[in-house]
Structures are given as structure tokens and as C-alpha cells.
Amino acid sequence: MTTATAQRPSAPEQAAAAAAPLLVLRDVVVAYGAVLGVDHVSLAVGRGQLCGLIGPNGSGKSSLLAAVSRVGKLSGGSLEFDGQDYSAWSAHRVARLGFARSFQTVRLQEDLTVLENVMVGADKTRLSGATVATWLSSLASRGDEAKSRAAALEALDQVGLADMRDRFPTTLSYGTQRRVEIARCLASKPRLLLLDEPTAGMSSAETDEIAALLMRLRAEGLTQILVAHDLSMIHSVTDHVFALNFGKLVAQGRSTDVANDPVVRAAYIGVVETVEEDSDG
Amino acid sequence: MLAEQLLVNAAVLGAVLTLFALGLSLTWGALDVLNLAHGAIFVASAWVATRLANSVEVPFVALLVAGMAAGALLAVVAELIAFRPIRRLISNKRQAELSMVAATVGFGFVIDNLVGRATSHQVFSFPIGAFEFRQYDLGVFKAFNIEIIIFATAIIGALLLNYWIMRTRQGMAIRAIAFSPRIAPLLGVKVDNMAALTMAVSGALAGLSGSLMVVWTSGMDISTGHSLLLRAFAIVVLGGVGSVKGCVLAAFLLAAVETGIVAAGYGSMRDAAAFSLIILVLLFRPQGLFGTGRAMRA
Amino acid sequence: MLHFLASWEVFFQTVLVNALLAFSVQIALRAGVFSLAGVGCWAIGAYTLSILNLRGVNTLVAIVAAVAIACVVSYLLSLVLVRLRGLYLGMATVAFNQMVGVAIINGGELTGGEMGLYGVNAPVTTLQLVIVVGVVCLMLWAMERGVLGRAYNIVRDDESLAESLAIDTGSLRRFAFVLSGAIGALGGALNAMLLGIASPTDADFPVIVIALTMVIVGGFHSWRGALIGAALILWLPIGIQSFGIRGMHEWWSVVYGALILGIAVYFPKGLLGGLQKLRSLVDRRAVREATP
């Protein structure tokens, strides 16, 4: 390794780096005793991609997401983010890499206002290891609190909830609460967004708004993984889809191809219509 | 003291602890409820049996039944005024645990003070003459009839309890609740009724062990309940929550260790056995010897 | 008037010192750490101070030593109990407290065995107590705000969520654990100074019950709750007695137990939490009236 001057990567090297996938899973296994919730899944998510993760209930989607964010356990295989193997890292360390995720159930703090809830997401850029150091530094810098606040307001704007900022989560509709959660994710300026059924329980109008938001974020270059049951949303929003069944990756590709894949359709018993491609691509 | 006699002591202590700890383990395993008033119920039931013995001439069995009834009643009261409302009102698990601890501590405090008032805060004991002690020479060691009764009762009680849990419909219902308190009602299990029944059995066990113990020892007071509670916790943790055989084994093990410590002259350290056991088990095998592994819910 | 103040001064001092006990439990619970080890540390603090004072050590040094020892013990304990949660953690800390009690009783000459230690001569004024408790309150207040306040909120209610938000839950929990021990020890030391004695009952079950009660009644989400709880619980026996209803004062312990029971079930966040609920109800009503 050169020790003198750091060499600027050449243009081809930069291009190659930009083309390298952001997230790579190799042979990931999540075992619950003898049962494999995730069974040797390998996949790669490209930078700026909006990927869908589909599969019937119990197919391992949430387990996979949990393992990827290291909040859940990883029984085997490796996880790599931007070239960094993080399989052995703790969840909070991984989060600091730039992961933000939402969960299947709404997890907001009841005794914090919407703004405060979202600020927690923004805070994450300030919390360091040792608690005492954090505490002393938070006492010392009033400006940081303002920065968190600003980032939180910006995120709330993005989901269109700026006027709800002083409300308490329990006074909001379920769909609105979910949007607050998404704002919390966005407030941390993530590099990878993991959304677990973000539009479950939303009206179709809200779902469309979220879909539009996700597209905007994609246009800004944010890499996203979206777990969803709503196949039409998946179809309209994603670049690439991964299909799981019984913990195994059974298909991947464009959403229409995956939806028409006989193995996938067999897994989703009852899917009758073929998903047609839009005429405008 | 002869080793054989120590063995008898340990066996009887273990028997009392078994019955008491089984009551705690039952509600903890089935209802996720740690009844910290269990010790107070023990003492109160013992007091009831003592009072009855002081007032009327009844067969010994009647005294035991009275003690069990008192225990069952108090436990059901706890269910109605503490556990049931907590189940209904508090959904956050952490919060519920905290409230349950505080509520049972409060309830136990009330019972303790009522018993204390009734006994003028003195040690109370079983009236002399109310029970005819007889000692039998069983070759290897000598045992009193009460000691044999206690030991036999514990073994039979454990077997009956195990049968009830494993082989009857009610037991199945209770196990269903233990497995999933939210799904059980969907299967037709009336959770409230089962909870009350479970608490009643648990209280009866406390009452039974209390009534037996008060005859065997020279007297008891409120602090007996506290001491027993901590040891019962150690036993349930060691044996594994919800496991009958684990409870029995752990109870006799603890009794043996404690008897040994006292016999070796370290009486003031007796309680340290239970506490050390708690910490050791929680560190190295939190699910206990025969537990189902639900030990730690983060 | 002066007589009135004088008799209330003792009460006031007791409340201040016991507030520290309540704080030690509150700060752990607020972080979601079900630890009652602050009580054991209260005893450690009382005995450390007494032992050192009886050997002529400067009072301030003795206090610092008491707190420091408690910090070390708490830290080690936190490592040992790291994987435990909820009830299991709670009971393990109760076991720890009892072990402190056993160690004290078996401490021979050093700890005075069953009798405890007498003749501690380290007088403390009410003003000094107010300042100490004031500083602790300030510290707790600071910890309830901003980044740390929000972080602890989440660590308390939802650990895995906290982790996913880049919050080092392990570090925060350990910190709360150690601080709980430190404040408990401080309280114990001051109590020994106030009473002039250290006794094995300082780690006993009743102390644990009282500490828990103060926090449950007041509300464990904030230091204010612990303070309210401490004052209320200590005032209660006096209050009931002074009401003078015939025979009522004999039943104060029943009232006490019933109060704990009632609040634990129906006001799980304590009186302070009850006030907050009221506030959010008002908020909801305002929203309902505002939306068409």
C-alpha cells in the first residue's frame, strides 16, 4: 500500500467504484433452531436502485431485513456495505454506516411529539460511543440541537407533515404515523433505506404519495429496499425485485418478469392476473 | 447433629419449599405473573390454620383445607384487583412487569400488616396439643409423623399438579395461555377464568405449605414469608420457569445446600445460598435446568 | 413559628436524602433498566462513609470514596448482568442487595455485624443537603433533555428500535446503572451523616419496597416524579395520623399498601404520568374540535 501521497483513483476506477453494488449479501442464513428463516440468500443491490423484496408471509422477508440491519441475528454468510464487511458489527454501529429502516409495526414514541420523534432520526448523526462524552458535548453545543431540529423539519416536509410537528403520535391516523416513521428514517440522511411494508394500512391516496416520494428519493440517488405485499406498487416503483419463498431467493429481475415467474406465482397462491407492462414502459 | 437427621431436615425443608415454589412457578409460567405477595399469602394462610386450631377441635386435615382455602382466596383477590386490571389496561410489557411488581408488593404489604396487627407483630405458632407428634424409628433415621406427612404431601402434590397441567383440559388451556396469551382466547380459552383458577391453585399451594410449615416449626412471622419468597425465586429460576420436576429438584437441592451451610456453622450466611444461586443461574443458564428458554425477553 | 420550622426541618432533610434513594431507582427505570441495586449501593455508601469517618477520614474524602466504590461495584455488576432484562434483572439486583446485607452482617469488626456502626460524626446542614440534591436534580434534568433525553426514551421502551437508530443501548444502560449506584451511595452516605449510624437494615427488603414505591407513586419517567414520590411517601404516615380520624392512624400501613397497589395498576406512570395523560387528552380534544 502506498504510504507517500494518496493517489486519486483514475476515472475508470471511479466508474467501477460507482458501478459496484452498495449492498452485497453472500450466502446469508438466519436460523431459528433447526428452522432456516433465511436459507442461503445471495444478492446484490446496486447504488441508487430501488429494489423490491416480495414473498408470501413467512418467506423470510422480515428476517432478512433484520439480519441485514443487524438488528436481528445472522447465523451464517456475510454482509457487505460499500465494500465493508459488517457481518460482525453491532446494530447501532451498522446504523451509523448509513442504514435507516422502518418496521412492520409502527414504532413511535408516544410521549414525544412528531417533531421530537423525527429528531431522534436526525440525532443519530451526533451520538457517538461513550455516553459521558455525548452528554457533555450535547450540553456544550446548543447549535447541534438546532441542526437536528432543522433536519427533522426538512424530513417532515419531504413527507408532507410539517404542520403535524407538535402533535403526539397517538392522535394521528395509522397512515400518518407511518409517514412520520419514514420522515424519521429520512432525517438521518441515510445511504440505504430499508422499508418494511411502509404503505400497509394506508389509503390509496397516501400510498400514491409515498410511491411518489420513493421515486423522488431514487432520483436523488438514494438506494432503497422495499418490502411490500402491494404488487402494483412494487411494479410501479421498483427497478429490481427479489422474490423469497421459504427463506430462499427464488427469483429476481424486473418486477413484471418476477411477477409472472411461475415459481413466484405458485408461492402466492391465488394470484390470477398476469401483471401487464405499462405501455409507456 | 447426625447426618441422617440432617437429611430428614433437608428433606422436609425441601418439601415445604417445593410446594411453595410450585405455586410461584405455576403463575409465573402460565400467566407471566410474578406474585410477590406469595410469601404474605403463605404467612396469612398459616395464621388462619393456627387460629382455627386455637378455636375449635377439628381434624388436622380440616386445618390444612382451611389454610389452602385462605391461600386460594387471597390469591384470587390478587388476580381480581391487580393482575386482571393490569392485563386489561397496560399493554407495554416492561410497564406491565413493573406495575405487577409494585402492585403485588403493595398487596403483600397490606396482608403482612393485617396479619401483623392480628398477631401483635409477634411470632405465632401452632397451639401445643393441637397436633399429636409421634416419632418413628425408620432404621436409618428417625422421623416425626409430621415430617413424613409433609414430605409425602409435597411429592403427591407435585405429581398431582403435573398431572393436572399435562393431562387435563384445564391444564391444556393453561398451557395454551402460557404459550400465547393472545391466541388462546381465539381457541376458546376463557383467559380470565383460567387465570383465576391458576391463581387459586397457586394460593392453595402457598396455603398448604404454610399450614404444614407452621406445625413443623416453632413459630413464624411475616419475615418468614419474605425469606421464603426469595428462596422460591431462586428455586424457580434454577429449576426453570413452569417446569414441575425442575422445581422439585431445585427445591431439594437448595434445602440440602442450606441445611449443609447451617450445619457447618455458617448460619448467618444461609440466605446467601439462595442469592448466589439466583445470580449464578441467571448468568450461566438463565432458562434454568428444565426451562423452556423464555428466560430473557429483551 | 420557629418551632414549626424546626420540626419540619427534620422532615425536610429526610425527604432530601430519601429523594436520592428514589432518584437512584428512577434513573435506572427511566432507562428501561429494572435495577434496584441503588439500594444495595445506599448501604455501601452508608457503610463506607461510616467506616472512614470513624477512622478520622475527612468527610468530603469519605463521600467521594463512597461514591467511587459504588461506581466500581455497579459497573462490574452491570457487566455481570448485561444480558438480563425486566423481572430477571430486577430480582438479580434484589439478590445483590441481599448479598450486600449478608456481607455487612458478616463483616465482623469492620461493619459492626448485626449492630451496625455508631457514632458517626459528620454533621451536615440542611443547606448543604439542598445544594447536593439540587445539583443532582440539575444533572438529571440535563439528562432528560435533548439528544440524551430522547435516546433514553427509546432505549427504555424499544431497545431494538434504539439500536436501529444508531443508539448504543449497551453503553447508555451501563451508564444509567452506574449512575444509579452512585446516587444511591451518595444518599446512603448523607443518610449516615444525618443519623450518625449505619445499620444492616439499610439494605433490607423494606428499603427496597420504599424506594420502589416512591418512584412508582411519583412516576418514573422523570426526576420530578421521584421527588414528588419521595415527599409524598414520607409525608403519608404523618398526614394520615394528623387527620386524626378515629383509629385511622393504625391503618396507615394498609392505606399505604393500597395506595401503591392502586397507583401501580391505574396510574402506571405515577402521578406525574397521570398529569401527562391529562395533557394529551386535552391535546386530543383540541384536535378533535379543530378538525371538521
Q: What is the pLDDT of residues C1-21, one digit of tens each?
A: 555 566 788 889 999 999 999
Could you report the per-residue pLDDT of A77-116, keeping only the tens digit for each? 999 999 899 999 989 889 988 899 998 888 999 889 999 9
For residue B257, is it within any domain? no
Mean pLDDT for B16-33 is 91
ipTM: 0.82
C144-175 residue pLDDT tens: 888 888 999 999 988 989 999 988 899 899 99
State the number of CA atoms in the 13 A half-sphere of B180 facing the CB: 7
At residue A130, does pLDDT exceed 70? Answer: no
Q: Are strands A23-32 and A50-54 parallel, antiparallel or unpaired?
A: unpaired
All structural domains of chain C with their residue ranges:
13-290
Residue-range definition of the domain harbouring residue B33: 3-227
Q: Give domain status of residue B9, yes or no.
A: yes
Q: Which of A122-131, A208-217, B9-18, C179-188 has the lowest mean pLDDT?
A: A122-131
Q: List the strands of the sheet with A35-45, edge to edge.
A: A35-45, A23-32, A76-81, A84-85
In the predicted model, is pLDDT for residue C247 greater than 90?
A: no
What's residue C255's pLDDT?
79
Q: Closest CB to B275: pick one of C87, C95, C205.
A: C95
The residue that leads in pLDDT, B131 or B296, is B131
In a domain, B91, yes or no: yes
At residue C186 the predicted structure's pLDDT band, cuts being 50, 70 and 90, is very high
In this prediction, residue A51 carries a pLDDT of: 93
Question: Percentage of chain C with pLDDT > 90?
Answer: 44
Distance from CA of C226 to the nearest CA of B (A): 15
| Chains contacting C (3 or more CB pairs within 8 Å) | A, B
- Residue of chain B whose Cα is closest to the Cα of C263: B103
Q: Which residue of C has its CA nearest to B231?
A: C95
Residue B278 inside a domain? The answer is: no
Q: What is the mean pLDDT of chain C?
A: 87
Output the pLDDT for position B294. Answer: 47
Q: What is the C-alpha R_g of chain A?
A: 20
The answer to whether residue B20 sits within a structural domain is yes
Tell me the nearest-neighbour CA distance from C250 into chain B, angstroms: 9
Residue C284: list chain A partners with CB under 8 A. 168, 170-171
- Cα B218 from Cα A195, distance rounded (Å): 66
**Per-residue pLDDT, B169:** 83
CA distance A121 to A100: 9
CATH number of C13-290: 1.10.3470
Mean pLDDT (whole number) for B198-215: 95
Choose from B34, B81, B109, B287 for mutation: most chain C CBs within 10 A. B109
What pLDDT score was predicted for residue A5?
47
Domain boundaries, chain A: 21-267
- Tell me the C-alpha distance between C229 and C20, whole Å: 11
State the total domains in chain B: 1
Chain B: closest CA distance from residue C260 (Å) = 5
Predicted confidence band of residue B266 (pLDDT cuts 50, 70, 90)? confident
Instruction: Output the pLDDT for position A140.
Output: 62
Task: Compute the average pLDDT of residues B204-219.
Answer: 93
Q: What is the rounded average pLDDT for all residues in chain B? A: 87
Does C258 sit within 8 Å of B110, measured CB to CB?
yes
Q: How far is B27 from chain C (nearest CA, A)?
A: 14
The sheet carrying A248-253 orders its strands as A99-101, A192-196, A223-227, A50-54, A240-245, A248-253
Inform me whether the pLDDT recorded for B297 exceeds 50: no
Taking the CA of residue A109 and the nearest CA in chain C, the distance in Å comes to: 7
Return the residue of C nearest to A190 by Cα: C165
Greater confidence (B275 vs A115) lies with A115
Contact C175 A131 (CB under 8 A): yes
Give the pLDDT of residue B20.
97
pLDDT of residue C243: 65
> CA–CA separation, C106 vs B253, rounded Å?
24
- Which residue in C92, C99, C260 is closest to B102 by CB distance? C260
More confident residue, C227 or C287: C227
C276 touches chain A (CB under 8 A): yes
Give chain A positions within 8 Å (CB) of C150.
Answer: 109, 112, 116, 119-120, 123
Task: Look at C260 and B94 and tell me if their CB atoms are within 8 Å.
Answer: no
Query: Which of the four CATH numbers 3.40.50.10490, 3.30.565.10, 3.20.20.70, 3.40.50.300 does domain A21-267 have?
Result: 3.40.50.300
Residue in C29, C88, C99 closest to B272 by CB: C99
Distance CA B45, CA B118 (A): 13
pLDDT in tens, C74-120: 999 999 888 888 888 888 898 899 889 889 988 888 888 888 898 88
Are C147 and A127 in contact (CB < 8 Å)? yes
Structural domain includes residue B265: no
pLDDT of C71 > 80? The answer is: yes
Q: What is the DSSP string of A149-178?
A: HHHHHHHHHHTT-GGGTTS-GGGS-HHHHH
Report the alpha-carbon distance of residue C28 to residue C23 in Å, rounded: 8
Contact A139 C142 (CB under 8 A): yes
B35 belongs to a structural domain: yes
